[in-house]
């Protein structure tokens, strides 16, 4: 384990683990501000803020066996990052364990979602951006292409996004627009309505939930490379994880940028959202 610091309470060996945490310290396609490579370490550090036990999920919580795999090796080219992440995360998914990734930029989600059998899982993102471009700045593996790469593998009926509010015209002027609910609609109609609407449209039963931290309002999550006003509330994102509930098949928190987060509050929120996903997964294992 690099840096000598595990995620809090993640002390299981890989073979005995129910959930496995991976760091993906990659930020070489970042289009606005780099620095997300430092997030896996910052979020691990922030994870020591919290109780292991979350009373709101019930008093019968069994501690989950969590393994911290450490960080994937860093590479410059996105193709090399994709191969490395598949090499690391693939065995976790094949073994039926629950993968949790800490980015790095959002492009790190691409190899994870590609590691699931085609059509076996849906991708739901929480993101200010739709990330549905065919390619961006010369690469189809950019963080602006995450949902489009998921469409390639799992189909348009297995991809959706919640909280979007910055979408390119070329993303909307096509026949296969990735289904989304904007943050404006979430504020009008509520997070329960939004997540249910998206879940009901997905064909696969299992859902991989990917949190681009810029989906949350920059007032609460300032430490990110491309902050965008009018974002979701942290409590709504917490609720969204529970609303996915027993369909949750994997989770990540991407795009935290510690150099833009001097107070550390964005990393703290990222760690708490990971704990929320772990609590929902633990609940799923119990039932």
Identify the residue among 171, 212, 217, 261 touching Mn ion (CB under 5 A). 212
Nearer to Mn ion, 106 or 247 (CB): 106
- Is 252 an interacting residue with respect to Mn ion (CB under 5 A)? no
Q: How far is CA 155 from CA 122, 178, 191, 195, 202, in A?
A: 9, 10, 24, 19, 10
Identify the residue among 27, 38, 127, 171 touching Mn ion (CB under 5 A). 127
Q: Give the number of other CB atoms < 10 A from CB of residue 212.
A: 29
CA distance 44 to 267: 8
Using CB under 5 A, which of the segments 38-46, 119-127, 179-187, 278-286 binds Mn ion?
A: 119-127
SS3 content of the chain, % helix, strand, coil (to 5): 45, 20, 35
The helix (H) or strand (E) run that includes residue 22 is: strand 19-24
Using CB under 5 A, which of the segments 72-80, 101-109, 193-201, 269-277 binds Mn ion?
A: 101-109
Quote the least distance from Cβ 186 to Mn ion, whole Å. 15
Nearer to Mn ion, 67 or 126 (CB): 126
* Sign of the alpha-carbon dihedral angle for 182, 56, 282, 85: positive
- Is 128 an interacting residue with respect to Mn ion (CB under 5 A)? yes
Q: Give the number of other CB atoms < 10 A from CB of residue 179.
A: 18
Nearer to Mn ion, 68 or 212 (CB): 212
Please count the residues of this chain forming the interface with Mn ion, following the rule CB under 5 A.
7
- One character per residue 129-168, x = contact with Mn ion (rule: CB under 5 A): x-x-------------------------------------
- Is 274 an interacting residue with respect to Mn ion (CB under 5 A)? no
Nearer to Mn ion, 44 or 129 (CB): 129
Quote the least distance from Cβ 108 to Mn ion, whole Å. 10
Note whether 20 and 242 are within 8 A (CB): no
**Token pair belonging to 187:** 């504020």
Note whether 249 and 204 are within 8 A (CB): no
Residues binding Mn ion (CB under 5 A): 106, 127-129, 131, 212, 214
């Amino acid at each position: 384990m690099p840096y000598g610091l595990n995620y809090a309470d993640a002390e299981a060996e890989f073979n005995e683990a129910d959930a496995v945490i991976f760091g993906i310290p990659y930020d070489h396609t970042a289009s606005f501000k780099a620095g997300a490579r430092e997030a896996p370490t910052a979020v691990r550090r922030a994870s020591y803020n919290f109780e292991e036990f979350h009373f709101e999920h019930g008093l019968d919580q069994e501690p989950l066996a969590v393994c911290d795999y450490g960080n994937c090796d860093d590479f410059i080219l996105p193709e090399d990052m994709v191969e490395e992440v598949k090499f690391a995360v693939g065995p976790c998914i094949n073994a039926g364990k629950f993968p949790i990734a800490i980015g790095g930029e959002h492009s790190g989600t691409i190899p994870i979602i590609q590691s699931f059998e085609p059509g076996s899982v849906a991708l739901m993102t929480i993101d200010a951006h739709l990330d549905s471009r065919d390619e961006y700045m010369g690469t189809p593996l950019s963080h602006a292409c995450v949902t489009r790469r998921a469409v390639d593998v799992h189909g348009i009926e297995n991809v959706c996004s919640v909280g979007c509010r910055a979408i390119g015209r070329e993303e909307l002027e096509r026949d296969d627009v990735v289904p989304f609910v904007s943050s404006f609609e979430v504020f009008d109609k509520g997070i329960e309505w939004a997540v249910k609407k998206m879940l009901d449209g997905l064909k696969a039963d299992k859902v991989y939930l990917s949190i681009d931290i810029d989906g949350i309002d920059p007032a609460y999550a300032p430490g990110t490379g491309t902050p965008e006003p009018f974002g979701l509330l942290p409590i709504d994102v917490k609720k969204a994880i529970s609303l996915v509930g027993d369909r949750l098949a994997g989770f990540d928190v991407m795009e935290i940028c510690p150099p833009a987060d001097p107070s550390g509050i964005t990393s703290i929120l990222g760690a708490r959202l990971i704990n929320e996903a772990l609590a929902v997964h633990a609940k799923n294992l119990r039932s």
